[in-house]
Chain A
Amino acid sequence: MGKPSDLVQGTLDLLILRTLQTEPKHGWAIAKRIQQISNEVLQVQQGSLYPALHRLEQQGWITAKWAESETGRQAKFYSLTTAGREQLEKETANWTRLSQAINLIVSEA
């Protein structure tokens, strides 16, 4: 089971932001989503999402609201703020550039 530090620094933030792009989600749904989409490759220890979520919230990239979940229980739903959307675009562009560069080096060398 990988720890967040095994991911490239800052990648967890990008993953969270990206997952929230379509709709607000609660923590468990975010964890599930990341596992699903990555075809279970990224096995994030679920709990370690929370320090990241709270940090992003303190920084104003995402905001949280308590609402009723699909099971009828109150859950904390996170959604992107306007600033968070811009941040996501910026980080996505950064990531693309970085991964292309790494791909290039890996294939050339």
Chain B
Amino acid sequence: MRWLTQLKMRFLMLTKRQHAAEQLEDEFSFHLEQQIAENIASGMSETKARQAALRTFGNPTLLREQTRETWNWNMLESLLRDLRYSVRTLRRTPGFAAMSILVMALGIGANVALFTVVRGVLLKPLPFADSDRLIVITEGGDEVSPDHPVAGGIFEAWKQQSHSFSGLALTGGAEFNFSAGDTTGTQLAESLHGANISANLLPVLGVQPAFGRGFTPADDRREAQGTAILSWQLWMRRFGGNRAILNQTVHLNSQPYTVIGIMPAWFSYPDPTTQLWTPLYHDKPTALMISRDQHEFRAVGRLLPGVSESTARAEISLIVNRIRSQHADDPYISLKANTRPLLEDMVGDIRRPLYVLLAATGCVLLIACLNVANLLVARAAARKKELAIRTALGGSRLRRIRERIVESLLLSTAGGAFGLAFAALALKWLVQARSEMTRVESIHIDATVAAFTIAVVAFCALLSGLISAFSSGDRNILASLQSASRSTSPGQSRVTLRRVLLSLEVGLTVVLLIGAGLLLESYARLRSANLGCITDNVLTMRIMVPRMQGSQPAQLVNFYEQLLDRVRALPGVKAAGFTDVIPGQGYWEDANFSIPEHPALPAGVGLFAINRWVDPGYFNAIGIPILKGRGLDPSRKLDRVDEVVISKLFADKYFPGEDPIGRHLRVTDGTAVYLFRVVGIAGDIRYSLGEDPAPIQYFSLLAGVKNNGSLIVRSSSNVEQLALPIQRIIQSLDRNLPVSDILTMDQLLGRSTVDQSFNATLLVGFAALSLILAAVGLFGVLSYIVAQRTSEIGVRIALGAQREQVLRLVLADGLRPALVGLALGLIAAAGTTRLIQSMLYGTRPLDLTVFTAVSALLLAVAAGACLVPAWRASRLDPVQALRSE
């Protein structure tokens, strides 16, 4: 029953504390009254009796304190007292409080935001059942092509012969011309990014549609009726979330498809922009699906329990190898298989940049803590006398440390609250700005993030509180009472501590600045990389022509010719062309070829190069020079297309020391073989901004095999104004033809470098923030030192010191920690920038320009921050200064 009594006491002490205090007073006075009464009874006078009673009783104030210490919740009570005290102190210096809270809010906010991103994107398991058993499989060849997509025939062999997987599924990207209603309907047609998936993909991932059903093997055949599954977002956007769409027909590339299911809102696979899914084996020709050397797909497999990834990789590699040796005449069959965990496959590219950014925010936080610690130390110094008096009166050292930590806890908690709000805003912006980022949908502020925030707040409170507490915990604190009222020298150790803090701050800032500088330089190089074609005043727009029934190649060619004729006739258009892939847009596809004029290659060796389908006017439109020979012949169409233009690198690599004009390329497309005559050599271009130019073969669009690509229009000025008239032309040719990605060349390239620009911008932001913090720190410390030395400087000036000398003296005093920090930072940066080497383009991690520029910037800012206090010191009026004490 004792626990019950204790519980009752606990409750009483919590709720009736005030009452208990009153009772204690009563108890004491009763005791004294009794004693006085007894003393009077034994013959003392009333005054004497009172004095004697107090003597036997002891010091009531001390006893009251000691008694209260035995009460429950005493810790809490004294903590509350400290808290109240801290709030009062902070309220008395609102500028200091606001500054510290702002600094903390920025530091904590940036960390929480980045941590939320890292957790959502990199750390959270994928939302699939047992997602750690899911692996992505690709094929691999020799060092020329160590990793490439999977061929349908190889996948078939894996499926039949492998014993490592409980399921193997195949996916391929697809672009759809989507329209709901009938083909002649008024519904808006749009171009959508989707995916072809094998029927078992959803079961392999362990996912079910939110409504309706998934694909069955019966749907996943060439001869089956078309079926489609919509993403939640597409369903909401186009059909307002109406379930009546199930079992209705929509048109994809003018073919009817029945909507059989809607995926849950969180599901997006293979990438965040996928909006609908169709069965792979229904959509793709059977010949492609059994081909062993047309590498077009990605495989995903679920490992059986107990089977490791390496075992599975060895097994399927062996299968590829066996097929390769069975078909030794086909050099385009791969040598092995590559595997990686699904999560790794999805986020592998953004892992390093995200961790680099997280590390940067960590530095910012550290700088913020050091700055707040610095401010606290400065204040402790200003309150030196007060603290000394309290120590003299018996205030314990532990108590002072606790008080300081409570104070910094208060600051960092307020900072954390604002920081969390700031992080929420930043994340909201990020999710919108980077909607194409992998797993962006899994970025949320949740309980873990809240726990992280609390941990960060506690860390900041402890760090800045302890630093300042230990600086004021000098054992000789009483010395300040003894030292004369004239503050001649500020406690030397305290100033040393602040200088060390400043050097650390500056050092971290230098590391951040150099990292940011390198990324910025790299981004600038990337954007200024010569693409090999004209990028000014070039407008592009993507068009997808649905495959018509019947004589489609002729119709396609007719469409392209009409389109280009009418666009070229528009006023303001200097040139127009059409290509399936724009320079800088990516690798996209390559084609195998051989050169009949050359001796046969040894078995197992095959040649391949990037291929592009372009209209004859394309070279002129985008400004790729024809270096030799001529361009493609516009009069050769359809079956009569037998010409190819090759790039300079292609000529150098495959026709070394000979004239390629008039030679031939034999191109195999699955089963068919075509012969093309080389008619010209074009200038090299970069297929991607970050990559070196590669050999390219250009075929004529007029063959009528490509039904999608981009229109390229060049003008002398304001090319964007042409977008609407061109769209009107396209509408008049075919009202159901969706146009997408209407972008100038500059915008297109900006989009392809959005990652680099994003990383560089954020890092520059963090570096700028820490530069400001470091400058504020320098300014604060130097101002403080000058204030402390006012009378000393006054004496110097009175004794005849030149004002320039004083200026130099104070400047040197302030710049010393900046120089030490700069040296530290440069050394640290030289060690750490190697970590971001893989994020750099055309920039070495030890780039001299960046290191020099950062040093100069830092010195300039440091000098600027020190100049004001130094100037003030040199302008001191000695009479005033000496009188001010």
Partner-B contacts on A (CB < 8 A): 1, 26-28, 31, 45-48, 50-51, 54-55, 57-61, 63, 66, 69, 71, 73-76, 81-83
Q: How far is the CA of A51 from the CA of B27 in the complex (A)?
A: 12
Q: Is the CB of A54 within 8 A of B70?
A: yes
Q: Is the CB of A51 within 8 A of B6?
A: no
Q: Is the CB of A47 within 8 A of B30?
A: no
Q: How far is the CA of A101 from the CA of B847 in the complex (A)?
A: 81
Q: How far is the CA of A6 from the CA of B56 in the complex (A)?
A: 16
Q: Is the CB of A46 within 8 A of B35?
A: yes
Interface string of B19-55 (1 = CB under 8 A from A): 0000110111011011101000000000000000000
Across the interface, B30 reaches (CB within 8 A) one of A45, A54, A73, A83, namely A73
Q: Is the CB of B35 within 8 A of A28?
A: yes
Across the interface, A47 reaches (CB within 8 A) one of B2, B26, B59, namely B59
Across the interface, B33 reaches (CB within 8 A) one of A50, A73, A81, namely A73
Among residues of B, the one whose C-beta sits closest to the C-beta of A35 is: B56
B60 interface contact, C-beta 8 A: yes
Evaluate whether A47 and B69 lie within 8 angstroms (CB atoms) in the complex, with A58-B9, A82-B1, A83-B5 already known.
no
Chain B residue contacts of A60, Cβ below 8 A: 2-3, 5-6, 9
B488 interface contact, C-beta 8 A: no
Q: Is the CB of B56 within 8 A of A46?
A: yes
Evaluate whether A83 and B27 lie within 8 angstroms (CB atoms) in the complex, with A47-B60, A47-B63 already known.
no
On chain B, which size bracket covers the interface?
20 to 34
Q: Which 6 A-B pairs have the closest CB atoms?
A: A47-B58, A83-B2, A55-B70, A60-B5, A47-B63, A28-B34
Among residues of B, the one whose C-beta sits closest to the C-beta of A56 is: B70
Extra A-B contacts (14), CB below 8 Å, given A54-B67, A58-B72, A81-B1: A26-B30, A27-B30, A28-B30, A47-B28, A48-B66, A51-B69, A51-B70, A54-B24, A55-B70, A59-B6, A66-B23, A74-B26, A82-B2, A83-B2
B71 interface contact, C-beta 8 A: yes
How many pairs of residues, A versus B, come closer than 8 Å at their CB atoms?
Answer: 83
Q: List 6 A-B contacts (CB under 8 A).
A: A1-B56, A26-B27, A46-B57, A47-B28, A51-B66, A58-B13
Dominant secondary structure of chain B at its interface with chain A: helix
Q: How far is the CA of A63 from the CA of B3 in the complex (A)?
A: 13
CB distance from A38 to the nearest CB of B (A): 15
Q: How far is the CA of A28 from the CA of B27 in the complex (A)?
A: 9
Chain A residue contacts of B71, Cβ below 8 A: 54, 58
Q: Is the CB of B66 within 8 A of A83?
A: no
Chain A residue contacts of B63, Cβ below 8 A: 47-48, 50-51
Q: Is the CB of A45 within 8 A of B57?
A: yes
Q: How far is the CA of A76 from the CA of B31 in the complex (A)?
A: 10
Among residues of B, the one whose C-beta sits closest to the C-beta of A75 is: B30
Across the interface, A50 reaches (CB within 8 A) one of B13, B34, B67, namely B67
CB distance from B253 to the nearest CB of A (A): 81
CB distance from A58 to the nearest CB of B (A): 5
Across the interface, B57 reaches (CB within 8 A) one of A26, A47, A55, A59, namely A47
CB distance from B791 to the nearest CB of A (A): 48
Q: Is the CB of A83 within 8 A of B9?
A: no
Chain A residue contacts of B59, Cβ below 8 A: 47
Chain A residue contacts of B3, Cβ below 8 A: 60
Chain B residue contacts of A47, Cβ below 8 A: 28, 31, 57-60, 63
Evaluate whether A76 and B56 lie within 8 angstroms (CB atoms) in the complex, with A51-B69, A58-B71, A59-B6 already known.
no
Chain A residue contacts of B28, Cβ below 8 A: 47, 50
Chain B residue contacts of A55, Cβ below 8 A: 70
Q: Is the CB of B23 within 8 A of A76?
A: yes
Chain A residue contacts of B30, Cβ below 8 A: 26-28, 69, 73-76
Chain B residue contacts of A48, Cβ below 8 A: 58, 63, 66
Q: Is the CB of B6 within 8 A of A58?
A: yes
Chain A residue contacts of B6, Cβ below 8 A: 58-60
CB distance from A2 to the nearest CB of B (A): 12
Q: How far is the CA of A76 from the CA of B30 in the complex (A)?
A: 9
Among residues of B, the one whose C-beta sits closest to the C-beta of A59 is: B6
Q: Is the CB of B27 within 8 A of A58?
A: no
Q: Is the CB of A28 within 8 A of B31?
A: yes
Evaluate whether A50 and B27 lie within 8 angstroms (CB atoms) in the complex, with A58-B13, A60-B5, A83-B1 already known.
yes
Across the interface, B5 reaches (CB within 8 A) one of A27, A63, A73, namely A63
Chain B residue contacts of A82, Cβ below 8 A: 1-2
Q: Is the CB of A46 within 8 A of B1?
A: no
CB distance from B425 to the nearest CB of A (A): 48
Q: How far is the CA of A64 from the CA of B335 in the complex (A)?
A: 89
Q: How far is the CA of A85 from the CA of B531 in the complex (A)?
A: 94
CB distance from B5 to the nearest CB of A (A): 4
Q: How far is the CA of A61 from the CA of B70 in the complex (A)?
A: 14
Evaluate whether A57 and B57 lie within 8 angstroms (CB atoms) in the complex, with A51-B67, A76-B23, A76-B27 already known.
no
Q: How far is the CA of A47 from the CA of B56 in the complex (A)?
A: 8
Interface string of B342-360 (1 = CB under 8 A from A): 0000000000000000000
Among residues of B, the one whose C-beta sits closest to the C-beta of A57 is: B9
Q: How far is the CA of A82 from the CA of B1 in the complex (A)?
A: 8
Within 8 A of A (CB), among B782-796: none
Chain B residue contacts of A58, Cβ below 8 A: 6, 9, 13, 70-72
Q: How far is the CA of A81 from the CA of B24 in the complex (A)?
A: 21
Q: How far is the CA of A1 from the CA of B66 in the complex (A)?
A: 19
Q: How far is the CA of A99 from the CA of B204 in the complex (A)?
A: 79
Among residues of B, the one whose C-beta sits closest to the C-beta of A53 is: B67
Q: How far is the CA of A94 from the CA of B759 in the complex (A)?
A: 72
Evaluate whether A27 and B27 lie within 8 angstroms (CB atoms) in the complex, with A47-B60, A60-B2, A83-B2 already known.
yes
Q: Is the CB of B33 within 8 A of A45?
A: no
Q: How far is the CA of A1 from the CA of B55 in the complex (A)?
A: 10
CB distance from B20 to the nearest CB of A (A): 9
Chain A CB count within 10 A is highest, among B24, B66, B69, for B66
Chain B residue contacts of A54, Cβ below 8 A: 24, 67, 70-71
Within 8 A of A (CB), among B67-99: 67, 69-72
Q: How far is the CA of A57 from the CA of B5 in the complex (A)?
A: 9
CB distance from A75 to the nearest CB of B (A): 5
Chain A residue contacts of B57, Cβ below 8 A: 45-47
Q: How far is the CA of A34 from the CA of B23 in the complex (A)?
A: 24
Across the interface, A45 reaches (CB within 8 A) one of B13, B27, B58, namely B58
Among residues of B, the one whose C-beta sits closest to the C-beta of A43 is: B56
Evaluate whether A46 and B31 lie within 8 angstroms (CB atoms) in the complex, with A51-B70, A58-B70 already known.
yes
Chain B residue contacts of A61, Cβ below 8 A: 2
Q: How far is the CA of A61 from the CA of B71 in the complex (A)?
A: 14
